[in-house]
Amino acid sequence: MNSSIFGKLAEDAVNFLFSHFRGGFDAFSASLGAVIKLLEDGLAAVPFIAMLVILMAVALWRRGVVFSVFVGAALLVIHYMGLWAQTVSTLALVVAATVFSLVIGVPLGIWGARSNRAEVVLRSLLDFMQTMPAFVYLIPAVILFGLGRVPAVIATIVFAMPPVVRLTTLGIRQVREELLEAGRSFGSTDAQLLWKIQLPNALPSIMAGVNQTIMMALSMVVVASMIGAGGLGEYVLSGIQRLDIGIGFEGGLGVVLLAIILDRLTESFGVKAKKKSKRKVISTPTTPPAASKAVQT
C-alpha cells in the first residue's frame, strides 16, 4: 500500500531529521536515558515496606483513613502478584514523562494565555496531538531514538502534554478581571500579576491539567511497551501475545490500582488549591481600603 503525499511528507521530514541530526538525537537519548535510569534506580532502592508506609502516610494526609487503607491494600495486592518491580519501573517512566510534560507544557500554557495568536496556533497543534492515534507516535520515536525507554518517554510526553497546556491557558484566562485591575492599581508589573495573581488563582485548573497528564502518561506508557518500555505494560503485552488471561488480568489490575492511587492523590492537591483560591476571593475586599475610607468620610 503506497502512502499519499501527506504520508510522504511526514516520512521525508522524519528521514531528514534522522539523517542530519542523528548525533544530536543520540546525545539527547543518552542524557534522557541516564535520567530515567537514575529515577528508576532511586525508586527501586526504596524497600517495599518503606514505600508502603510513605504512600499510606501521604494518602492519610491528603484523603483520610479510608483511602490510606485502600492504598495499603492496593500495594500489598501488587506485591503479592509479584509485580512490584514492574510497578516501580512504570512509575519511574510516568514521573519522568510527567515532569518533562509540565516543564514544557506550563510555559506554553502561559504563553497561550497571554497571546491570542499563540493560543490559536497552540489550539490547532494540541488538537492534532490529542486526536492522532497513540500508536502513530511510536513510529517516529523508534526511528529517531531506537527501541527502549527513551522513545517511550518521548512518545508519552507528546501524547500526555496537551491537557496541562490547555488547562493552564484556561485557568489564567478565567482569572477575574477585578483582581487584575486591583493588582495594576497598586503598580504591579506583568510578571508580578502572573506570579502573584494569575498563577495562584489558576492553580486549581493547572492541577487538573497535571492530573490528566499523569493519567494519559500512564495509559501511553502501557502502549509504549510495544517498543520496549518495560514495566506493567510489558506484562500486559506478554499476556496478549501468549493469550494468557491470568497474566493479562494481573498486569491490567496493577495498572488500574496504580492509576487510582495517582489520580486520587493528584486530585486532592487540586481540590485543596481550589478551596484556598475561593477563600482568598471571598476575603478580598471589592474596594481598596483607601477608597472605602474616602466613601465613609
Backbone angles phi, psi at 82, to 5 degrees: 75, 25
What per-residue confidence (pLDDT) applies to 141? Answer: 84
Residue 68 lies in a domain: no
**Mean pLDDT confidence for 76-82:** 92
**Prediction pTM value:** 0.83
Give the Cα separation of 152 and 234 in Å (integer): 12
When pLDDT is averaged across residues 74-95 and rounded to a whole number, the result is 92
Residue 154 lies in a domain: yes
Give the range of the structural domain holding residue 90, as residue numbers without chain letter.
23-48+84-282
| Residue 289 amino acid letter | P
* Mean pLDDT rounded to a whole number for the chain: 84
pLDDT beyond 60 at 271: yes
Q: Whole-angstrom Cα distance, residue 151 to residue 227?
A: 8
CA distances from 144 to 11, 17, 18, 62, 125 (A): 12, 8, 6, 41, 21
Which of the four pLDDT bands, split at 50, 70 and 90, describes residue 269?
Answer: confident
Residue 56 falls within a domain, yes or no?
no
Q: pLDDT band for position 297 (50/70/90)?
A: very low
Closest CA to 223 of 295, 144, 141, 145: 141
| 29 lies in some domain | yes
Angstrom distance (rounded) from CA 250 to CA 106: 35
Mean pLDDT of the 127-132 span: 86
Q: Domain of 184: which CATH number?
A: 1.10.3720.10
Contacts of 112 (CB under 8 A, 6+ apart): 118, 119, 122, 123, 165, 168, 169
Q: What is the pLDDT of residue 275?
A: 59
Question: Would 134 be classed as within a structural domain?
Answer: yes
Which of 1-10, 204-213, 224-233 has the least mean pLDDT? Answer: 1-10
DSSP state of 21: S
The 10s digit of each residue's pLDDT in 50-71 is: 999 999 999 999 888 999 999 9
Residues whose CB is less than 8 angstroms from the CB of residue 54 and which lie 6 or more positions away in sequence, other chains included = 46
Within-domain flag for 1: no
Specify whether the CB–CB gap between 14 and 140 falls below 8 A.
yes
Q: How many CB atoms lie within 10 A of CB 27?
A: 11
What kind and span of H or E run contains 57? helix 48-63
Determine which of 10-24, 94-108, 181-195, 239-253 has the lowest per-residue pLDDT on average: 10-24
Give yes or no for residue 12 having a pLDDT over 80. Answer: no
The rounded distance, in Å, linking the Cα atoms of 191 and 111 is: 12
- Report pLDDT for 288: 45
User: 213 pLDDT band (50/70/90 cuts)?
Assistant: very high
Check residue 277 and give its pLDDT.
56
d(CA 202, CA 195): 10
Cβ-contact 57, 49 below 8 angstroms: no
* pLDDT attached to residue 287: 43
Contact 220, 151 (CB under 8 A): no
**Measuring CA to CA, which residue among 262, 263, 164 is closest to residue 213?**
164
> What residues contact residue 291 under an 8 Å CB cut-off, 6+ apart?
none
- The answer to whether the CB of 163 falls within 8 A of the CB of 213 is yes
pLDDT at 48: 92
168, pLDDT greater than 90: yes
Number of structural domains in the chain: 1
Residue 214 in domain: yes
Between 146 and 70, name the one with better pLDDT. Answer: 70
- Kindly tell me if the per-residue pLDDT of 150 is higher than 80: yes
Closest among 127, 111, 144 to 24, alpha carbons compared? 144
- Which carries the bigger pLDDT value, residue 116 or residue 271? 116
User: Residues for the chain: how many in total?
Assistant: 297
pLDDT for position 279: 58
- Is there a domain that residue 262 lies in? yes
Is residue 138 pLDDT above 80, yes or no? yes
